[in-house]
Amino acid sequence: MRLLDTIKSPADLKALTVERLPQLAQEIRDAICHQVSRTGGHLAPNLGVVELTIALHYVFDFSFDRLLFDVGHQCYPHKLLTGRLPLLDHLRTRRGMAGFPEPSESPFDLFRVGHAGTGISTAVGMARGDALTGEAFDPKHRPDGRRVVTMIGDASIVNGVAMEGLNNAGTLPRQFLVVLNDNGMSISHPQGAVSQYFDRVRLSSLYADLKKSAGEILKHVPGGSLVREAYHRAGEATKAMLDEGGWFEQFGLKTVGPIDGHDIPTLIGILSEARDFPRPMVLHVKTVKGKGFAFSEADASKFHSPPAFEFDTPEEGEPAERACRVELKSEGRSFTSAFSDAILGLLARDPKIVACTAAMPDGTGLTKSLAAHPDRVWDTGICESHALDMMAGLAKTGFRPFFAVYSTFFQRAFDQAFQEASLQGLAVRLCLDRAGLVGGDGAVHHGFCDTALLRTLPGAVITAAIDEPSLIAALEFMRTHDESLSSVRYPRDVVSARLANQPCPPFVLGKARLLTPEIANPDAAVLAFGTPALTAFDAAEQLKGEYRIEVYDARFAKPVDAALIRRLIESGTPIITLEDHSIVGGFGSAVLESAQEMGLSAAGVTRLGLPDSFIHQDSRSKQIAEAGLDAVSIARAIRESVLRRADTTARGGPGASRPAPEPKGAIPLNAALHGQSRP
For residues 224 and 233, give the distance between their C-alpha atoms in angstroms, rounded to a whole number.
12
DSSP, collapsed to helix, strand or coil, labels residue 368 as helix
- CA–CA distance, 619 with 630 (Å, rounded to integer): 13
Residue 222, SS3 per DSSP? helix
Distances (CA, A) of 172 to 94, 167, 402: 39, 10, 41
Map 283-341 to HEC letters.
Answer: EEEECCCCCCCHHHHHCCCCCCCCCCEEECCCCCCCCCCCCCCEEECCCCCEHHHHHHH
* Gap between the Cα atoms of 21 and 54, Å rounded: 8
- Single-letter amino acid, residue 206: L
Residue from 384, 550, 579, 626 carrying the catalytic annotation: 384
Half-sphere exposure of 646 (CA within 13 A, CB side): 20
How far from the centroid of its chain's Cα atoms is residue 587's Cα?
22
Three-class DSSP category at 488? strand
**Closest Cα partner for 357 from 306, 398, 301, 308?**
301
Catalytic pick among 289, 302, 513, 555: 289
Given CA atoms 395, 401, 407, 413 in this order, what sign does their dihedral have? negative
Contact criterion met (CB below 8 Å) for 369 and 360: no
Rounded to whole angstroms, the Cα distance separating 213 from 649 reads 87
Question: Cα-flanking dihedrals φ and ψ of residue 357, to 5°?
Answer: -140, 160
Beta-carbon contacts of 651 under 8 Å, excluding residues fewer than 6 positions away, are none
Verify whether residue 327 is a known catalytic residue. Answer: no
- Among candidate residues 400, 412, 492, 558, the one labeled active-site is 412
User: Could you confirm whether 289 is annotated as catalytic?
Assistant: yes
Alpha-carbon distances of 131 from 125, 176, 282, 302, 457, rounded to whole Å: 10, 12, 20, 43, 42
To the query of whether residue 384 is one of the catalytic residues in this protein, the response is yes
What is d(CA 440, CA 622) in angstroms, rounded to the nearest whole number? Answer: 10
Other Cβ atoms within 10 Å of 79 Cβ, number: 26
Catalytic residues, which ones?
A: 289, 384, 412
